[in-house]
Amino acid sequence: MTPDDTAAPGLIPAPREVTWGAPGAEPFRLDAATVLAAAPGTEGVARLLRATVGAATGLPLADGTEGSRVELSLDPALAPEAYGLVVDGDAVRITGGSAAGLSWGAQTFRQLLGPDAFRRAPVAPGRTWDVPAVVVEDAPRFSWRGLMLDVSRHFLPKDDVLRYLDLLAAHKLNVFHFHLTDDQGWRVEIKRYPRLTEAGAWRSRTKYGHRASELWDETPHGGYYTQDDIREIVAYAAERHIRVVPEIDIPGHSQAAISAYPELGNTDVIDTTTLSVWDTWGINPNVLAPTDNTLRFFEGVFEELLDLFPAATSPFIHVGGDECLKDQWKESPTAQARIAELGLKDEDELQSWFIRHFDSWLTARGRRLIGWDEILEGGLAEGAAVSSWRGYAGGIAAAEAGHDVVMCPEQQVYLDHRQDGGPDEPMPIGYVRTLEDVYRFEPVPPGLSEEAVRHILGTQANVWTEVMQNRSRVDYQVFPRLAAFAEVAWSSLPAPADRDFAGFDARMTDHYARLDALGVDYRRPGGPRPWQRPPRHLGRPRAGAPPAPPPPGVKTRGRGGPRPGPGRPGILGRPIEGAPPAV
């Protein structure tokens, strides 16, 4: 039976098999007498239960093995992330194939307790907590269930990152792709290169809205994570069985690094000392020079990075590799000499050489390189993996060639794209991708060979923050769609057209209450709340005297299109009408 057939409203993502107790079956009552029986190897999950369920209920969950109890144990016969959950009148028994599987079972138990179990302190001290009798057998469809968060375009403080790790864990997502560098800011402390954060972490102003907007926020923007901040984030993720994939974007999207260390750029083409951290959006022409100095510099960056992101938590290192414009390399005598020296065909192969260098370097240190699908251009190193973002095509090519793939196509799971076509969406960008659209996303393209399907590691939703200035805006774009994505990544769903979205939507009624308890500023089904709507005025001052008014009855257009009016967003986004192009 499919999860849509078996899951009662409320459980998200839908478990593989659920058997509810017969009518009248005695529930389990969680109260002050309930003890926590944690078998060896389950101590970390016990800590998490006390920190979450214990805090929300106000119950001690003391150690013990007799009476009313929550039992935690491991069963090596289960797959590592699989779990079993049995609730009857005497006990809650959670068994995992590993501590990770056990933690996902604990999240299901938390959902069964009700939305108040997601609060940080009890709202009704002394209340009773009844858990319905149930048997759950569950395991994930994919081993890679991820969210990419861009903190370069708009910086999120450390506490906001830790909060997002909690939200990932609550949705049984297990990969956090941490986009730490780009043209608009460098966000991780590298001690041997202090100017990366002294200069590269700050920009003087920021484009407000889409890059076509004429609006600017003149407030300087920036921030970075110290090395101890990163260690804390990684440890916090590991406690929740979340792998962290750090991304250092090279050789494109590198103006912040070049502004801090101008010798990294193509100095024989432009005066790189004039560059500053980029203050707008789009694809930047200023890319790294393919020199030995650049290679040594970024080897130094990665040496410190590997120390911050241990292999047990971060086996993959993301190097970006996307949107690297080759114009400067075409004009650069240094780059052309490097192409001739290496016997390369063109600039695409020069980028491939650059990526292959770091693939070999990382492999020698026990890590795996992963990059956006452009790293396929010019040839890909044998062990490298691909994040397929430009539709399915790159992922299909990579999988058929024997490379591991994470499917994250822009047309389906870029959560910066707008959720609705209405006029009240804040800073509308891209195609409309509704909650149902995300729910019907299928990570495995049709027609793949059986061998290629085995190379689909899983899937990931991406959150680019050009138009998300703070945590509230990130929440609005990510939720509730991340709940639909989590079910796609975890549950063994039918083909997209056959999925029971109505059933999922019914279960979301309970899940919205959980998101409320967690303080998530999500988009409500009926549309944005008043404070989530865009301002009604552009805030676009103009110099000089106003022009003469037009004759009566003549309609005019302001520069760049219609003037703002009632019901129109005041910020220039980039909505794209119609269905996304074929992938």
Q: Is 182 considered catalytic here?
A: yes
Catalytic annotation, pick one of 221, 241, 253, 417 = 253
CA 99 → CA 391, 393, 416, 458, 503, distances in Å?
Answer: 35, 36, 33, 21, 30
Which residues have a Cβ under 8 Å from the Cβ of 236 and sit 6 or more positions away?
162, 165
Of 14, 61, 1, the C-alpha closest to 37 is: 61
Which residues have a Cβ under 8 Å from the Cβ of 85 and sit 6 or more positions away?
92, 93, 94, 95, 105, 108, 109, 134, 135, 136, 138
Return the structure tokens found at 535: 């301002």
Return the structure tokens found at 341: 């020296």
User: Alpha-carbon distance 405 to 443, whole Å?
Assistant: 10
Which residues have a Cβ under 8 Å from the Cβ of 331 and sit 6 or more positions away?
266, 269
Q: Is 323 considered catalytic here?
A: yes
Give 216's strand partners. Answer: 207
AA identity, residue 581: P
| Dihedral sign for Cα atoms in the order 42, 43, 49, 54 | positive
Of 392, 413, 412, the C-alpha closest to 456 is: 392
CB distance 494 to 3 below 8 Å? no
CB distance 252 to 287 below 8 Å? yes
442-474 burial, b if ≥16 CB within 10 A, otherwise e? bbbbeebeeebeebbbbbbbbbbbbbbbebebb
Catalytic annotation, pick one of 150, 182, 359, 374 = 182
Which residues have a Cβ under 8 Å from the Cβ of 172 and sit 6 or more positions away?
13, 104, 107, 140, 145, 486, 490
| Dihedral sign for Cα atoms in the order 482, 484, 490, 495 | negative
Return the structure tokens found at 323: 């949107």
User: Which residue carries 């916090």 as its tokens?
Assistant: 236
Residue 24: what are its φ and ψ, rounded to 5°?
A: 90, -5
CA 518 → CA 16, 56, 121, 479, 511, distances in Å?
Answer: 25, 11, 11, 12, 11
Which residues have a Cβ under 8 Å from the Cβ of 315 and sit 6 or more positions away?
243, 367, 368
Strand ranges (DSSP E) for 103-174?
129-131, 134-138, 144-150
Return the structure tokens found at 496: 């997209």
Return the structure tokens found at 157: 């403080």
Catalytic annotation, pick one of 75, 166, 304, 323 = 323
The residues annotated with a catalytic role in the active site are: 182, 253, 323
